[in-house]
Chain A
Amino acid sequence: MAIAKEADRRDSGFRDFTADMRMVLKNRHGQESVRAIRIRTLEVADDGDKSLTIFDNPRDIKGTAFLSYTHKSGDDDQWLYLPALKRVKRISSRNKSGSFVGSEFSYEDIASQEIEKYTYKWLRDETYNGQDCFVFARYPLDKRNSGYRRQVIWMDKAAYRVLKIDYYDRKNSLLKTLTAGDYHQYRGKFWRAHKMEMINHQNGKSTQLIWSNFRFGVGLKARDFNRNSLKRAR
C-alpha cells in the first residue's frame, strides 16, 4: 500500500497532459491492424482524472470519441460520441472487463489507476531486467465487475515506474502480461512509458501501444471535458 501511495504521490500534480498513441493489434497469425488515437487528460483534485480519447484511424471510426470521468469511489461516468449520427451515448462503466476497441486492453486497464480501487499486498523484492523492483499484488475492490482476481506488479525502486504487470483472471490463471518500457521523464518529474505491450496468453493475441508527443501543462480545463467538447473533438 505504501508503495502504491508513493507511486501515486510521485505522479500527482501533473495537472493535464495530451499525447498521441498508436495501437497495434496483432492476432495469433501475426496479422496487424493499427489504430491512431489522441488522448487528453485532466487531473481532478480529490477525485479521479477526466480523460478524452479521440480516434483518427481506422478512417471509418474517425471522430469517434470517448469521455471518461474516473471516480475514487463508485462507478465511473463514461460517454461515447458517434460522429455519423452526431450522437452521444452514455455507456455503463461496469463493462470493465470488456475489450477496449478490439484490443487486448480492457476498459479497466486503460482507465486512470486510482489507488482507492484496490487492496495491496507486498510479495517480494526482486531484480527485473537489471532493475531493483518491488513486486506486489493488487486486488480489485469491485470483484463483481473486474475481469481479474489479482494483478502482480513489478515496480522499480528508483523511480516507482511500472515495468510489468501479470493479470490473473477470475479463475486465478494467468491471462495477460503487460510490459512497459522506453520511459521518458517530463517536467523533471513525471515518467511516461513510450512503449507498452499487452500479451494475452490465453488467446495468443497482443496489443502494442506506442506513445508520442507527450505535452504536460497545456492548460486544459474542465470545459474541455464536457459533452460539448466530446461532440466537437476531432
Chain B
Amino acid sequence: MKPWFAVVVWIGALLAGQFCTPGAHGHELSGYIEGEMRFFPNAPLFDGQQNNNASLALQPEYYHELKSGSSFTFVPFVRLDSADSRRTHADIRELNFLYLAERWELTVGIDKVFWGVTEFHHLVDIINQTDLVEALDAEQKLGQPMVHLSVPADWGTLDFFILPWFREMTFPGPGGRLRPGPLVDTDHPVYESPAEQSHLDFALRYSGTIGNTDFGIYHFSGTGREPGFLPAVTPAGGLVLRPFYQIIQQTGLDLQTVAGQWLWKLEALHRSGQGPAFFAATGGFEYTFVAVGDTAMDVGLLAEYAYDERGNRAGTFYQNDAMFGLRLTANDAASSEVLIGAILDLENRTKLISIQGSRRIGDRVKLTIDAGFFVDPDPQDILFDLRRDDFLRLQLAVFF
C-alpha cells in the first residue's frame, strides 16, 4: 500500500501549503445515506447464496474551495451488506487537490473520470476500475489515484494521466447473488507485470467540439481494467477463478453528434495485450419526443448495438447485442423518471430486461426501484450462471 500512502502524503503537503494561506473561499459538506433491499424471488443456484439482502451505504462529500478557484475534495464511501461479505466494503471515491491555473488544471490524488457517450455499454471508459459489487450495470467506479493535467484550449482539450496504483475489480462473495458459480478469488489475483499493482499506467486524451459533434480520442498504456480469469483449485478442493490482469495498449474513440432531435453516439476501441488484438464498438441513437400529448412528459427512444471481435471470448456480455430503451421523464416537481431497457443477444436467445424508476420525495429523499430479468440465458452465455438471479431492488436515499 506504499504508493497510496505516498499520494496521500503528497496531497497532505500540498494542502498544508494551500490552507494556511489566507483567502479560503468556503467549504461544504454534503452527501447521502442510502438504505437498500434486494429481493431475489428464485431459489439460489449456488451454495451459500441468499434470497434477499439488506444494505446500508454512506457517501459523504467534503469540498473546500480556495479564492483562486483551486479546491480540495474528499469523498469516502462505505457499504454494509447483510448477505455478501464482499459487498460490505469501503472505498475512497475521491481525495484530491485541484490546482487551477490560467491555462491548465492539475488534479493530484484520487479522482473519478468518465469517458463515453452510450447509454448501455460503457466501452471506452477506462481510467477507473468498476466497483462491480455495487451494481451489475458497471456504472459504479472505484477511486483511482492519479496525477491529471488538463489543458483546455480553443482547439480542444488535452488530458495527460499518470496512474501510479492499480485498483482490482470487486466481485461478489459466497453469499452474494449475481455472480458466476465458481467464486472469483480476489485475494489471489495474477498480474502479468512483476510490478503488479504499482505498475505505472499512462493515458493521453484529446477531446473537443466541431460543429454539432463532440469527440474524444485517447490512448491508454498500462494494466487492463477488465481481467481475464484463470481457473484454480483451492486447498479445500473447490474451483475458483483467479482474476488475471494484463498489460494492454488501448486506443479509443468516442463521438456524439446532435442532429435536430436525434442524438447519435459511437464508442470504439482497439486493444492489444490480452490475447490477439481486437476491435470493439458500440453505438446508436437517442430520439426525444418533447411534451408528449398535452403533458409535460418527454419520451426518449434509445437503440444501440454492441460488437466485440472476441465474440464469446469477450469478458463482457456485449459481444453482438442489440439494446433498446424507453425513457419517460415526467418533468414534474419530483423529477419522476422511468427507464425500461432490453439487451438482446443476437447470437443466442439470451435477453436481459431492466426497469428502473425514480422520484424525489420531499426535498431530500429519493426513491429508486429497479428490477432485472434474465430471460432464456443460453448455456454458452456469460449470464447463464445468473439465470435464477432476477431481482427487485428498492433504494431510499437521504441527501444532506
Residues of A within 8 A of B (CB): 25, 27, 31, 33-34, 57-62, 75, 77, 79, 85-99, 101-102, 147, 202-203, 223, 226-228, 232, 234
Q: Which of B43-51, B268-276, B360-368, B385-393 contacts A (4 or more CB under 8 A)?
A: B360-368
> Do A59 and B333 touch across chains, with their CB atoms under 8 A apart?
no
Q: Which of B77-85, B236-244, B257-265 contacts A (4 or more CB under 8 A)?
A: B257-265
**Cβ contact of A59, chosen from B114, B257, B262, B399, cutoff 8 A:** B399
The reply to whether the CB of B227 lies closer than 8 angstroms to some CB of chain A is no
The reply to whether the CB of B199 lies closer than 8 angstroms to some CB of chain A is no
Q: Which residues of the other chain, B, contact A147 by a CB distance below 8 angstroms?
A: 291
A144 to B30, alpha carbons, bound, how many Å? 42
> Do B363 and A59 touch across chains, with their CB atoms under 8 A apart?
yes
A227 to B258, alpha carbons, bound, how many Å? 16
The residue in chain B whose Cβ has the minimal distance to the Cβ of A98 is: B290
> Do A92 and B157 touch across chains, with their CB atoms under 8 A apart?
no
Separation in Å of the A93 CB from the closest CB of chain B?
A: 8
**Cβ contact of A102, chosen from B65, B261, B333, B400, cutoff 8 A:** B333
The residue in chain B whose Cβ has the minimal distance to the Cβ of A106 is: B291
> Do B399 and A62 touch across chains, with their CB atoms under 8 A apart?
yes
> Do B152 and A99 touch across chains, with their CB atoms under 8 A apart?
no
> Do B363 and A95 touch across chains, with their CB atoms under 8 A apart?
no
The residue in chain B whose Cβ has the minimal distance to the Cβ of A207 is: B333
> Do B261 and A97 touch across chains, with their CB atoms under 8 A apart?
no
The A-contacting residues of B in range 297-339, CB under 8 angstroms, are: 298, 330-335
The reply to whether the CB of B53 lies closer than 8 angstroms to some CB of chain A is no
> Do B333 and A25 touch across chains, with their CB atoms under 8 A apart?
yes
> Do A98 and B291 touch across chains, with their CB atoms under 8 A apart?
yes
Binary interface encoding of chain B residues 169-192 relative to chain A, with 1 for a CB under 8 A from any of its CBs, else 0: 000000000000000000000000
The A-contacting residues of B in range 351-382, CB under 8 angstroms, are: 360, 363-364, 366
Binary interface encoding of chain B residues 69-113 relative to chain A, with 1 for a CB under 8 A from any of its CBs, else 0: 001000000000000000000000000001000000100000011
A58 to B398, alpha carbons, bound, how many Å? 11
> Do A59 and B291 touch across chains, with their CB atoms under 8 A apart?
no
The reply to whether the CB of B348 lies closer than 8 angstroms to some CB of chain A is no
A25 to B207, alpha carbons, bound, how many Å? 38
> Do B333 and A99 touch across chains, with their CB atoms under 8 A apart?
no
Separation in Å of the B114 CB from the closest CB of chain A?
A: 4
The reply to whether the CB of B62 lies closer than 8 angstroms to some CB of chain A is no
> Do A92 and B263 touch across chains, with their CB atoms under 8 A apart?
yes
> Do B331 and A99 touch across chains, with their CB atoms under 8 A apart?
yes
Question: Could you list 16 A-B pairs, sorted by A, with CB under 8 Å?
Answer: A34-B363, A59-B399, A60-B335, A60-B360, A60-B364, A60-B397, A77-B212, A79-B214, A92-B288, A94-B260, A94-B261, A97-B290, A99-B331, A101-B331, A102-B296, A102-B330
Q: A101-B335, A102-B334, A227-B214 are in contact. List 19 more A-B contacts (CB 8 A).
A: A34-B363, A58-B335, A59-B399, A59-B400, A61-B335, A77-B212, A85-B114, A88-B214, A92-B263, A95-B261, A95-B288, A95-B298, A97-B291, A98-B290, A98-B298, A98-B331, A102-B333, A227-B152, A227-B209
A14 to B60, alpha carbons, bound, how many Å? 39
Using known A-B contacts A86-B113, A99-B296, determine if residue A33 contacts B363 with beta carbons closer than 8 Å: yes
> Do A85 and B152 touch across chains, with their CB atoms under 8 A apart?
no
> Do A228 and B150 touch across chains, with their CB atoms under 8 A apart?
yes
Residues of B within 8 A of A (CB): 30, 32, 63, 65, 71, 98, 105, 112-114, 116-117, 139, 150, 152, 157, 207, 209, 212, 214, 256-258, 260-263, 288, 290-291, 294, 296, 298, 330-335, 360, 363-364, 366, 397, 399-400
Which of A86, A91, A97 is the most central at the interface, judged by chain B CB atoms within 10 Å of its CB?
A: A86
> Do A90 and B256 touch across chains, with their CB atoms under 8 A apart?
yes
A99 to B65, alpha carbons, bound, how many Å? 32
Q: Which residues of the other chain, B, contact A99 by a CB distance below 8 angstroms?
A: 291, 296, 331
Which of B139, B207, B258 is the most central at the interface, judged by chain A CB atoms within 10 Å of its CB?
A: B258
The residue in chain A whose Cβ has the minimal distance to the Cβ of B207 is: A227
Separation in Å of the B394 CB from the closest CB of chain A?
A: 16
> Do B399 and A234 touch across chains, with their CB atoms under 8 A apart?
no
A98 to B65, alpha carbons, bound, how many Å? 34
> Do B157 and A227 touch across chains, with their CB atoms under 8 A apart?
yes
Q: Which residues of the other chain, B, contact A31 by a CB distance below 8 angstroms?
A: 333
Q: Which residues of the other chain, A, contact B263 by a CB distance below 8 angstroms?
A: 90-92
> Do A223 and B291 touch across chains, with their CB atoms under 8 A apart?
no
A-B pairs, top 4 by smallest CB distance, nearest first, are A59-B399, A33-B333, A99-B331, A86-B114
Which of B71, B112, B363 is the most central at the interface, judged by chain A CB atoms within 10 Å of its CB?
A: B363
A192 to B207, alpha carbons, bound, how many Å? 37
Separation in Å of the A24 CB from the closest CB of chain B?
A: 10
Which of B333, B335, B364 is the most central at the interface, judged by chain A CB atoms within 10 Å of its CB?
A: B333
Q: Which residues of the other chain, A, contact B114 by a CB distance below 8 angstroms?
A: 85-87
Q: Which residues of the other chain, A, contact B260 by a CB distance below 8 angstroms?
A: 75, 92, 94
> Do B262 and A92 touch across chains, with their CB atoms under 8 A apart?
yes
Q: Which residues of the other chain, A, contact B290 by a CB distance below 8 angstroms?
A: 95-98
A34 to B363, alpha carbons, bound, how many Å? 8
The residue in chain A whose Cβ has the minimal distance to the Cβ of B214 is: A90
A189 to B283, alpha carbons, bound, how many Å? 50
